[in-house]
Amino acid sequence: MKNADLVRRKDAATPRGVGVMCNFYAERAENAELWDVEGNRYIDFAAGIAVLNTGHRHPRLVQAMQEQMARFTHTAYQIVPYASYIELAEKINVRAPGAFAKKTAFFTTGAEAVENAVKIARAATGRPGVIAFAGGFHGRTMMGMALTGKVVPYKVGFGPFPSDVFHAPYPYGLHGVSVQDSIDALQQLFKTEIDPKRVAAIIFEPVQGEGGFNVAPAEFVRALRAICDEHGILLIADEVQTGFGRTGKLFAMEHYDVVPDLTTMAKSLAGGMPLSAVCGRAEVMDAPAPGGLGGTYSGNPLAVASALAVLDVLESEKLIERGAALGRRLQDKLDGLRSRVPEIGEVRGVGAMIAVEFRKADGSPDPDFTKQVQSRALEKGLLLLSCGVYGNVIRFLFPLTISDAVMDEGLGILAGALLR
């Protein structure tokens, strides 16, 4: 089997709207490495877009799913429930930020979690409005696209979108947007677009993912919490990409001294299996009537088994601490290259959620250099993902289980790609 043959078959059989980054096809993978159908090896700094914090095919996860497969694979939790769903909900309720009674519901994708968080917020408040932020990404469903603050490629040609969704700028110091600018814009929305008493929720990413790994300043998060408290608005933290050890904490909101009312999660929750969740205040989560939440595959037993194993692995292998240490190594490497790579405008992030933004000599975004770095790295066997509203950011999402030797090899390839 050849990659070129599969490319031709893909082009004939699947729509162009499903964009594919690589022109090679996976055959097998192990921890932070994968091999294509022609036997070529790659170091994976993409991790299926932040899904593989525990690496490819972690033995504990494989064992947990095999054991579950020997019992049953599907009943639909809403028809015939099973204990593992409850056990996972209990564990997340304890671990999610907030010293109050919580409840958790499971779904399949991050977009589903976001959609259901909005449903829950509207049911709990009796209000329609939702405020999101520029540069945010919340999914490809209709409500997800409405909330997402990036047009290309996610929103082009798909409107109209659901109403009562509004956007404010997200703090972005490198591009001249301060915390005060963001808060002032929110207050302006309340003056010109929607009465705050009609707003059900404000949703934000503690660290924007697709938006460029922009970290929310502490004063911004405190201000959001204060605005929500003042007007009876629910605060939703979208932790789909930040959750499960990526930022040096189990959840990114643990870096702040305020907590959200609802938290959405997915990606590394189940280490590669399709599972997402909404966790929040018990009284808020109970607002929808029975039957208002759920889905045929929501809380699939194989995915739940994998998620329980993920929580055990994160703790037993101290992956959260390891992720923070790996993130520091990466930042040190990038900072050490700044004097030799003038295109580096900023290195930022928290824990193992690190990004580098490239700019031209005049300070404008440099997406062309970003593509060159990504292409050169791929030629040498290193998978990198770009992001950012201007497409000028490289984000790093290596598994937290990556070995020191493979990490060093990957950093060497990265340096070569940056230095040409």
Range 150-175 average pLDDT: 95
Q: Is 217 left (phi over 0), alpha (psi -120 to 50) or beta?
A: beta
3-state SS, residue 30: strand
Per DSSP bridges, beta strands 353-358 and 344-350 are: antiparallel
Instruction: Check pLDDT > 90 for residue 17.
Output: yes
* The predicted structure's pLDDT at residue 389: 93
| Cα dihedral 26, 154, 294, 315 sign | positive
- DSSP assignments along 341-359, one per residue: -TTEEEEEEETTEEEEEEB
The model's confidence at residue 392, banded by pLDDT at 50, 70 and 90, is very high
CATH of domain 3-57+317-419: 3.90.1150.10
Instruction: Check pLDDT > 90 for residue 356.
Output: yes
Mean pLDDT for all residues in the chain: 97
What percent of the chain has a predicted confidence (pLDDT) above 90? Answer: 100
* The predicted structure's pLDDT at residue 80: 98
Say how far apart CA 335 and CA 340 lie, in whole Å. Answer: 10
The model's confidence at residue 420, banded by pLDDT at 50, 70 and 90, is confident
- In this structure, are residues 357 and 385 in contact, taking their beta carbons and an 8 Å threshold? no
Angle separating helix axes 404-419 and 319-337, nearest 10 degrees? 30
Range 338-355 average pLDDT: 97
Report the CATH architecture of 62-316.
Answer: 3-Layer(aba) Sandwich (3.40)
* The predicted structure's pLDDT at residue 346: 97
pLDDT (tens digit, 9 = 90+) per residue, 95-111?
Answer: 999 999 999 999 999 99
CA dihedral 364, 347, 152, 140 (to 10 degrees): -170
The model's confidence at residue 192, banded by pLDDT at 50, 70 and 90, is very high
Instruction: Check pLDDT > 90 for residue 211.
Output: yes
What percent of the chain has a predicted confidence (pLDDT) above 70? Answer: 100
Domain ranges of the chain: 3-57+317-419, 62-316
Instruction: Check pLDDT > 90 for residue 284.
Output: yes
Instruction: Check pLDDT > 90 for residue 306.
Output: yes
Tokens of 204: 């934000």
The model's confidence at residue 325, banded by pLDDT at 50, 70 and 90, is very high
Instruction: Check pLDDT > 90 for residue 32.
Output: yes
Residue 200: what are its φ and ψ, rounded to 5°? Answer: -80, -40
Range 146-154 average pLDDT: 94
